[in-house]
Amino acid sequence: MGDTLFRLSERLLAIEHIGLYLYIGWVVYLVLLGGWIILQKREPVATLSWLLGLALLPYLGFVIYHLFGPQKIERQRLRRRRSRLDDEALGHLPDGPNCAPEARELARMAQTVTGLAPSSAREVRLLVDGCAKYEALIADLAKARQHVHLEYYIYTPDESGRLIRDALVDCARRGVRVRVLLDAIGSAKASRAFFAPLLDVGGELIWFHPTRLWRFFLRPWLNLRTHRKIVVIDNRIAYTGGINITDEENERLRSDAYRDLHLRIEGDVVRTLQQVFVEDWIYACGERALISEIVRSMPEASPGTVSAQVLTSGPDSSWEAIHRIHVGLIHAARARVWLVTPYFVPGEAAMMALTSAALGGLDVRLLVPKDSDSRLVTLAARSYYDELMAAGVKIYEYGPRMLHTKALLIDETTAVIGSANFDHRSFRLNFEVSVLFQDHGIALRLSRLIEGEFANAPRVRQDRLRPLLHVRLPEALARLLSPLL
């Protein structure tokens, strides 16, 4: 093999003016691909980063860009829009008349950028950690009568995964329609063989954005994943939040399991989460008959007392809805901004909002893991600490376990809980889902939960030791990559 490559290189070097040809090819490649990247009109820093990478890594840079570069879903976006369920059948509710002007404005903006109207819930439970979530889910699955829909980023074939799978098998044996939509990358360990018992009794399994590296002329969508965690049971009960299905989030099985938060919801907002799942299912497999089936089984609207609005975002929209709502809520805050996230890599708009709130005298707190499961992201996050603390933001690093909760608490009435991290990947690349609550009770419960986490999260000190080579330089280098994380 080595001799073959050596002889091939000798032949190439023997070609007259080979250096000139390679240089011209490099220039043409850089101009054409660089022009395409510039026309995407993304953030200048990210665009310049890709251009620099393409220039320094001729041809290899193209392969990297083809696999992981920014991608927009155009025809797929239209397909997803056409799969919207009928608004009248969903019975969307307008925002309440007693809401503050800022809340009504944000609700209208959220509806405009997502196409999902404000709704309500009758009951909302905050489930802390995987064990509580899995136990509640298995109990609800045992009562399912019509259908069960699951969409997850990570589903692993371990003990927790088997428990949920077996509960789904029992549902299918009772005649319940079971549909499972899993991300092809995040759930790569969960093969069809693992789900064979479910498939054998009539359950359905679809992969979201399966890899297609063998079709080199198509973008492989390796970077565009569904990060959503959704379960809908009989149009009555829904689960969503940050907890995947894996032993890594089951504290009963692992002492180092992730610290996380999930929602169990009843009420009209379940219809909207159902709509999100249906769109994703149709997008993944094209089964449009599901729309009429779900509409026929929709119960009559029954408004609850909790104002709730589903927020979605993904590469099929350029509005970055969840990012936009987060920034809007922070700007609208009057007393408090508490942000909990496992991955903190903010853009300029988010940094401006957080520092402006702190400079204005608001109680701004950031709760992040001491050590996340990504060393690069941890370093990038810490590179923002000095600027945040100089503005008055209080930063806490949760230490006992990996903190995986994604939540935003604003003042005494507003809470956002879901799957979206506070980083570029969640705001731009992943398909995400969160729920915005305008409710004193939900905000109070979330406030007490976060306050309890502070007991295990020492506050970061401004006078902490920060050696140049071991701390400041790695953080600065990681920050350079933040637009690409």
User: What is the distance between the alpha carbons of residues 197 and 381, in angstroms, rounded to a whole number?
Assistant: 43
Q: Residues 351, 387: contact at Cβ < 8 Å?
A: yes
- pLDDT for res 288: 78
Q: pLDDT: is 382 or 32 the higher one? A: 382
Torsion sign across C-alpha atoms 459, 465, 470, 473? positive
Tell me the average pLDDT across 39-66. Answer: 67
pLDDT tens for 244-302 read 999 999 999 999 999 999 999 999 999 999 999 999 999 998 887 787 788 777 888 88
* Residues annotated as catalytic (active site), given as ranges: 227, 229, 234, 404, 406, 411
- pLDDT for res 471: 79
Tell me the average pLDDT across 208-230. Answer: 74
Residue 106 neighbours by CB distance under 10 Å: 25
- pLDDT for res 197: 98
For residue 367, the cross-strand partners are 340, 396
Measured CA to CA in angstroms, residue 411 lies from 332, 339, 364 at distances of 9, 12, 10
Q: pLDDT: is 446 or 209 the higher one? A: 446
Q: Residues 18, 10: contact at Cβ < 8 Å?
A: no
pLDDT level of residue 72 (50, 70, 90 thresholds): low
pLDDT level of residue 29 (50, 70, 90 thresholds): low
pLDDT level of residue 213 (50, 70, 90 thresholds): low
- pLDDT for res 263: 98
Q: How is residue 127 written in tokens?
A: 């489930």
Residue found under tokens 């950028």: 113
Burial degree of 1 (CB within 10 A; 0-12, 13-18, 19+): exposed
Q: pLDDT: is 428 or 213 the higher one? A: 428
The predicted model scores a pTM of 0.86
Tell me the average pLDDT across 158-187. Answer: 97
pLDDT tens for 434-477 read 999 999 999 999 999 999 999 999 999 988 877 777 778 888 88
User: What is the distance between the alpha carbons of residues 432 and 406, in angstroms, rounded to a whole number?
Assistant: 12
User: What is the distance between the alpha carbons of residues 227 and 419, in angstroms, rounded to a whole number?
Assistant: 7
- pLDDT for res 59: 62
Tell me the average pLDDT across 218-222. Answer: 59
Query: Is it true that 75-94+121-302 and 321-484 share their CATH fold?
Result: yes
User: What is the distance between the alpha carbons of residues 482 and 428, in angstroms, rounded to a whole number?
Assistant: 13
Task: Say if strands 336-340 and 363-369 run parallel, antiparallel, or are unpaired.
Answer: parallel
Q: Which of 64-78, 310-324, 355-369, 465-479 has the lowest mean pLDDT?
A: 64-78
pLDDT level of residue 32 (50, 70, 90 thresholds): confident
For residue 124, the cross-strand partners are 265
- pLDDT for res 464: 83
User: What is the distance between the alpha carbons of residues 130 and 257, in angstroms, rounded to a whole number?
Assistant: 8
Task: Give the chain's mean pLDDT.
Answer: 86
Q: Identify the top-confidence range among 34-48, 89-103, 185-199, 367-381.
A: 185-199
Encoded amino acid at 160, one letter? S
- pLDDT for res 472: 82
**Sequence-ordered list of residues with C-beta below 8 angstroms from that of 10, at least 6 positions apart, any chain:** none
pLDDT tens for 390-429 read 999 999 999 889 999 999 999 999 999 999 999 988 998 8
Q: pLDDT: is 330 or 11 the higher one? A: 330
Tell me the average pLDDT across 162-190. Answer: 97
Q: Hey, where are the domains in the chain?
A: 2-68, 75-94+121-302, 321-484
Tell me the average pLDDT across 142-160. Answer: 97
Q: pLDDT: is 64 or 359 the higher one? A: 359
Encoded amino acid at 481, one letter? L
Question: How big, in percent rounded to 5, are the helix, strand and coil portions of the chain?
Answer: 45, 20, 35
Q: How is residue 426 written in tokens?
A: 């969640």
Q: Residues 47, 37: contact at Cβ < 8 Å?
A: yes
Pick the CATH number of 75-94+121-302 from 3.30.565.10, 3.30.540.10, 3.30.870.10, 1.25.40.10: 3.30.870.10
- pLDDT for res 43: 67
Q: How many CA atoms lie within 13 A of 34 on its CB side?
A: 16
- pLDDT for res 84: 47
**pLDDT at residue 94 tops 60:** no
- pLDDT for res 324: 96
Burial degree of 485 (CB within 10 A; 0-12, 13-18, 19+): middle
Burial degree of 28 (CB within 10 A; 0-12, 13-18, 19+): exposed
**pLDDT at residue 76 tops 60:** no
- pLDDT for res 18: 67
Torsion sign across C-alpha atoms 297, 301, 304, 306? positive
- CATH number of the domain located at residue range(s) 321-484 in this protein: 3.30.870.10
